[in-house]
Amino acid sequence: MRLPILSALLALAISPFLRAEQPAKANKFEKDIAAFEAADKTSPPPQGAILFTGASGIKRWTTLAQDFPDLKVINRGFGGSQISDSIHFIDRVSVPYHPKTIVLQAGGNDINAGKPVAQVVADFKTYVEMVRAKLPDVKIVWLGQSPSPSRWAQREQQNELNRLVREVCTSGKNMTFVDLWDVTLGPDGQPRPELFVADKLHPSAEGYRIRTKLLRPVLDPK
């Protein structure tokens, strides 16, 4: 009988530690989001605009306003972010501006961090559901994955993500998938080097020119 009694006492001793909730870790992008909020107080952005958000491909789009001079656009990209970060800050980044359209470029960092493609797609669906709970009529545009030299080894996962997200957008309400894949590749089937800056990951000016051209028909005011 001693062994069962000893086991029970040991379980009672450690169970409080197993049940104890760990404090939530502060999101590493808190400073970025706080900076957005501070900027909004100084110069409030327009309501009903087109919100560009997601990872560094958006953050680095410094010519966004010049590329779409006839449209009201807001850039709220935060470099290195994953879709889970956009979900975490949904009430501070995606909802407050009451955008008519959200352009989201994300997923590449998720795959690079080792997340399965199925999880990335599930996160995207969660993001859409949460946004639509607050903004039921907002249009959502997914800017697809584009193969880059620095992440060429991940091209199969990226292509699969594109395929699955396209299906979500096709079957969803007021959603559009913008494909960047084929235009990023040259005749040799490799990523075109002129579309990337020196790190071989982020878009060059020519890369953003292509994005502008592909997004223009989707974002034109009606």
Q: What is the band of 221 on the pLDDT scale with cuts at 50, 70, 90?
A: low
Q: Is the dihedral of CA 184, 187, 190, 193 positive or negative?
A: negative
pLDDT digits (tens, 9 = 90+) for 156-198: 999 999 999 999 999 999 999 999 999 999 999 999 999 999 9
Q: What is the per-residue pLDDT across 103-121, written as a single tens digit (0 to 9) for each? A: 999 999 999 999 999 999 9
pLDDT of residue 16: 39
CA-CA distance, 41 to 196, in Å (whole number)?
34
Task: Place domain 28-219 in its CATH homologous superfamily.
Answer: SGNH hydrolase (3.40.50.1110)
Please state whether the predicted TM-score (pTM) of the whole model is above 0.75.
yes
74 pLDDT higher than 60:
yes
**Could you tell me which residues come within 8 angstroms of residue 140 by beta carbon, excluding any fewer than 6 positions away?**
101, 102, 104, 128, 131, 169, 172, 174, 175, 176
Residue 129 has pLDDT above 60, yes or no: yes
Q: What is the mean pLDDT of residues 69-83?
A: 95
3-state secondary structure of 108: helix
- Domain boundaries of the chain, sorted by first residue: 28-219
As a residue count, the chain comes to 222
Give the residue, 137 or 19, on which the prediction is more confident.
137
- Residue-wise pLDDT for 13-27, tens only, equals 433 333 333 333 458
Q: Among 24, 22, 30, 49, which Cα is nearest to 89's? A: 30
Token reading at 169: 């957008």
pLDDT, tens digit (0-9, with 9 covering 90-100), for 4-63: 444 444 444 433 333 333 333 458 999 999 999 999 999 999 999 999 999 999 999 999
Q: Mean pLDDT, the chain, as a whole number?
A: 90
